[in-house]
Structure 1
Amino acid sequence: MTEILQAVGIFSILVSALVGFFFWLIQRNINKRDAADQRRRIVRQEELDQREQVRYQHELYMMKSIDAAIALGEATARAVQRIPDAHCNGDMHAALNYAQRVKHDRKDFLNEQALHIISDGPMTGEGGTYD
């Protein structure tokens, strides 16, 4: 009788050890997969951050280009107005006034957006910069 109990006990120990080993293998595979997923997420986030930085730079250059175009248009209109033989009609004056109004409206809009960011959004980065 004790031999049967010993055999059952040894069998139970072996089954428990095998089940524990297989669960350990499964957990190890899950951990490897999680680590690989984490690395892929980090790489993807870095790509997204880089794209965001490129988009930011593009928008900045677009704003500078718009400012340059408006400044050039204003300078040209003022130069043409100073030419004595150039008979400027009301269209030139209206266009100049429109360009100035758009420039000021754009500046007001950007100031309003900056105020919303400062008052509503969290500040990040060092030195009080926004990232």
Structure 2
Amino acid sequence: MADVVSSSIVAIPAVVEETLQRLSSKSSVIATLAIDRESLTVLASSGQTSVFNLPDSTTATRAATSPTTTGAQGIENFAKMMVNYVNSTSKFISDMDEEDGLRLLRVRTKKLELVIVPDSKYLFIVAHEVPA
């Protein structure tokens, strides 16, 4: 896996780098992403980050035939959607049982599996290849 790359000028906290290195150590990992939950900023990414590219919803139909969203903007759109997804799921879990909390999410598609690890400050996302 490629080294962790910052997507902005902001210094990456050591805990983020360490966590991404640990999460990306498996051979099936193709990409990683670290998001600041408060600012919705992508702190770092590595690997084939194109798997995290999500077109702007207002141009989704147009993007299907001719992508208009840049890679960085598409990843920012993905990050915002994932934070909303995790926040909604966390609320759902706490509504079911106030003493319980969300620790990990797995989302599997035909092409890949996303492992989402929420933290109080950060959101870590790892994309794995799905065996054929």
Question: Highest CA radius of gyration, 1 or 2?
Answer: 1
Greater share of helix? 1
Asked if Structure 1 and Structure 2 have the same fold, meaning a TM-score greater than 0.5 normalized by the shorter chain, the answer is no
TM-score (norm 1): 0.27
Greater share of strand? 2
